[in-house]
Amino acid sequence: MPEIQINVAELLKETVGAARSFDLNSTLLDHDGMVLGAATGDLKITKTDRGVWVSGPVKIMVLSECSRCLNPMEYVVPAQIDDEYLPKVDLATGARVRVEDRDAEDADTRSIDDHHELDLTETLQQYRLAGLLLAPLCNEECLGICSQCGVDLNENTHECQDELDPRWGKLRELLR
Protein backbone atom coordinates (compact mmCIF):
# COMPACT_ATOMS: atom_id res chain seq x y z
CA MET A 1 0.00 0.00 0.00
CA PRO A 2 1.53 3.36 -1.00
CA GLU A 3 1.99 5.57 1.98
CA ILE A 4 2.03 9.32 2.49
CA GLN A 5 5.35 9.70 4.27
CA ILE A 6 7.29 12.75 5.37
CA ASN A 7 10.88 12.51 6.61
CA VAL A 8 11.09 14.56 9.83
CA ALA A 9 14.67 13.66 10.89
CA GLU A 10 16.02 17.19 10.33
CA LEU A 11 13.07 18.76 12.15
CA LEU A 12 13.56 16.43 15.14
CA LYS A 13 17.15 17.73 15.47
CA GLU A 14 15.95 21.31 15.86
CA THR A 15 14.65 23.16 18.91
CA VAL A 16 11.05 23.09 20.10
CA GLY A 17 8.91 25.39 17.97
CA ALA A 18 10.83 24.90 14.73
CA ALA A 19 8.40 24.37 11.85
CA ARG A 20 8.21 23.22 8.25
CA SER A 21 5.48 23.51 5.66
CA PHE A 22 4.31 20.51 3.68
CA ASP A 23 2.21 20.70 0.53
CA LEU A 24 -0.02 17.63 0.60
CA ASN A 25 -1.15 16.36 -2.79
CA SER A 26 -1.56 12.58 -2.73
CA THR A 27 -3.83 9.77 -3.83
CA LEU A 28 -5.42 7.96 -0.93
CA LEU A 29 -5.57 4.16 -1.27
CA ASP A 30 -7.17 1.51 0.92
CA HIS A 31 -5.29 -1.53 2.26
CA ASP A 32 -6.02 -3.45 -0.97
CA GLY A 33 -4.66 -0.68 -3.22
CA MET A 34 -8.09 0.57 -4.34
CA VAL A 35 -8.30 4.35 -4.89
CA LEU A 36 -10.35 6.07 -2.18
CA GLY A 37 -9.80 9.62 -3.44
CA ALA A 38 -7.22 12.40 -3.33
CA ALA A 39 -5.98 14.44 -0.38
CA THR A 40 -4.73 18.02 -0.76
CA GLY A 41 -3.79 20.68 1.74
CA ASP A 42 -1.14 22.87 3.29
CA LEU A 43 0.21 21.35 6.48
CA LYS A 44 2.47 22.82 9.12
CA ILE A 45 4.76 20.42 10.98
CA THR A 46 6.07 21.82 14.25
CA LYS A 47 8.69 20.30 16.59
CA THR A 48 7.31 19.70 20.08
CA ASP A 49 9.10 18.61 23.23
CA ARG A 50 8.04 14.98 22.55
CA GLY A 51 7.78 14.71 18.74
CA VAL A 52 6.06 16.71 15.99
CA TRP A 53 2.65 18.34 15.75
CA VAL A 54 0.92 18.33 12.35
CA SER A 55 -1.80 20.90 11.71
CA GLY A 56 -3.64 22.41 8.80
CA PRO A 57 -6.70 22.22 6.58
CA VAL A 58 -7.08 19.25 4.25
CA LYS A 59 -9.57 18.46 1.51
CA ILE A 60 -10.19 14.80 0.80
CA MET A 61 -11.92 14.03 -2.50
CA VAL A 62 -14.20 11.02 -2.07
CA LEU A 63 -15.22 8.71 -4.90
CA SER A 64 -18.72 7.42 -4.22
CA GLU A 65 -22.10 6.78 -5.82
CA CYS A 66 -25.33 8.71 -5.53
CA SER A 67 -27.67 7.10 -3.00
CA ARG A 68 -30.68 7.71 -5.27
CA CYS A 69 -29.58 7.04 -8.86
CA LEU A 70 -26.44 4.97 -8.10
CA ASN A 71 -24.34 6.95 -10.61
CA PRO A 72 -20.66 7.53 -9.77
CA MET A 73 -19.93 10.87 -8.13
CA GLU A 74 -17.30 12.79 -6.19
CA TYR A 75 -17.51 15.11 -3.21
CA VAL A 76 -15.07 16.80 -0.84
CA VAL A 77 -14.61 15.97 2.83
CA PRO A 78 -13.00 18.96 4.56
CA ALA A 79 -10.85 18.17 7.58
CA GLN A 80 -8.64 20.02 10.02
CA ILE A 81 -5.63 17.92 11.00
CA ASP A 82 -4.40 18.67 14.50
CA ASP A 83 -2.40 15.68 15.73
CA GLU A 84 0.85 15.00 17.53
CA TYR A 85 3.16 12.21 16.34
CA LEU A 86 5.78 10.67 18.56
CA PRO A 87 9.05 8.99 17.55
CA LYS A 88 9.60 5.27 18.19
CA VAL A 89 13.38 5.67 18.39
CA ASP A 90 15.64 8.45 19.68
CA LEU A 91 17.29 10.28 16.78
CA ALA A 92 20.64 10.68 18.55
CA THR A 93 21.05 7.25 20.17
CA GLY A 94 18.83 4.95 18.10
CA ALA A 95 17.34 3.57 21.34
CA ARG A 96 13.63 2.78 21.57
CA VAL A 97 11.60 5.62 23.06
CA ARG A 98 9.10 4.60 25.69
CA VAL A 99 6.12 6.89 26.00
CA GLU A 100 4.01 6.22 29.08
CA ASP A 101 0.90 8.24 28.28
CA ARG A 102 -0.06 6.96 24.83
CA ASP A 103 -2.21 3.90 24.41
CA ALA A 104 -1.32 0.90 22.25
CA GLU A 105 -3.52 1.92 19.31
CA ASP A 106 -2.08 5.43 19.05
CA ALA A 107 1.42 3.99 19.38
CA ASP A 108 1.06 2.35 15.98
CA THR A 109 -1.10 4.81 14.07
CA ARG A 110 0.35 8.09 15.28
CA SER A 111 4.06 7.49 15.51
CA ILE A 112 7.21 8.31 13.63
CA ASP A 113 8.88 5.11 12.41
CA ASP A 114 12.44 3.85 12.91
CA HIS A 115 13.60 5.76 9.81
CA HIS A 116 12.18 9.05 11.19
CA GLU A 117 9.35 9.11 8.67
CA LEU A 118 5.90 10.30 9.57
CA ASP A 119 3.16 8.35 7.77
CA LEU A 120 -0.09 10.31 7.31
CA THR A 121 -1.91 7.54 5.41
CA GLU A 122 -3.86 6.13 8.36
CA THR A 123 -4.67 9.59 9.72
CA LEU A 124 -6.10 10.74 6.38
CA GLN A 125 -8.11 7.51 6.02
CA GLN A 126 -9.61 8.11 9.47
CA TYR A 127 -10.52 11.72 8.67
CA ARG A 128 -12.05 10.51 5.39
CA LEU A 129 -14.16 7.89 7.18
CA ALA A 130 -15.32 10.41 9.77
CA GLY A 131 -16.50 12.79 7.05
CA LEU A 132 -18.28 10.33 4.73
CA LEU A 133 -21.87 11.26 3.92
CA LEU A 134 -24.48 8.68 4.88
CA ALA A 135 -26.56 9.29 1.74
CA PRO A 136 -24.54 11.27 -0.84
CA LEU A 137 -26.52 12.87 -3.68
CA CYS A 138 -25.23 13.77 -7.14
CA ASN A 139 -27.54 16.83 -6.90
CA GLU A 140 -30.45 17.95 -4.74
CA GLU A 141 -33.02 17.34 -7.50
CA CYS A 142 -31.90 13.77 -8.25
CA LEU A 143 -34.96 11.69 -9.07
CA GLY A 144 -33.29 8.35 -8.43
CA ILE A 145 -34.26 5.12 -10.16
CA CYS A 146 -37.66 3.56 -10.83
CA SER A 147 -38.53 1.08 -8.10
CA GLN A 148 -40.20 -1.20 -10.66
CA CYS A 149 -37.82 -1.34 -13.63
CA GLY A 150 -34.60 0.35 -12.40
CA VAL A 151 -34.51 3.08 -15.09
CA ASP A 152 -32.57 6.22 -14.14
CA LEU A 153 -35.38 8.78 -13.84
CA ASN A 154 -32.95 11.67 -14.39
CA GLU A 155 -32.28 10.48 -17.95
CA ASN A 156 -35.44 8.66 -19.06
CA THR A 157 -39.18 8.98 -18.78
CA HIS A 158 -41.27 5.85 -18.80
CA GLU A 159 -44.75 4.54 -18.10
CA CYS A 160 -44.21 2.18 -15.19
CA GLN A 161 -47.16 2.03 -12.82
CA ASP A 162 -46.56 1.32 -9.18
CA GLU A 163 -48.08 -2.00 -8.34
CA LEU A 164 -50.45 -1.62 -5.45
CA ASP A 165 -50.25 -4.25 -2.80
CA PRO A 166 -53.72 -5.82 -2.53
CA ARG A 167 -53.29 -6.25 1.23
CA TRP A 168 -53.71 -2.47 1.62
CA GLY A 169 -56.95 -2.36 -0.42
CA LYS A 170 -59.34 -2.03 2.55
CA LEU A 171 -57.34 0.89 3.96
CA ARG A 172 -57.29 2.58 0.55
CA GLU A 173 -61.11 2.38 0.44
CA LEU A 174 -61.29 4.31 3.72
CA LEU A 175 -59.37 7.23 2.13
CA ARG A 176 -61.96 7.65 -0.65
Q: Note the pLDDT tens digit of each residue in 53-90.
A: 999 999 999 999 999 999 999 999 999 999 999 887 76
pTM of the model: 0.75
How far is the C-alpha of 151 from the C-alpha of 56, rounded, in Å?
A: 44
User: What are 117-152's pLDDT values in tens digits?
Assistant: 888 888 999 999 999 999 999 999 999 998 888 888
Q: How many CB atoms lie within 10 A of CB 111?
A: 19
CA 60 to the chain's CA centroid = 6
pLDDT for residue 99 is more than 70: no
Which residues have C-beta within 8 Å of that of residue 162, sequence separation ≥ 6? 147, 148
The H or E element spanning position 123 is helix 121-131
Strands (E) in the chain, as ranges, are: 5-7, 19-29, 35-47, 52-65, 72-87, 111-112, 117-119
Helices (H) and strands (E) in the chain, counts: 4, 7
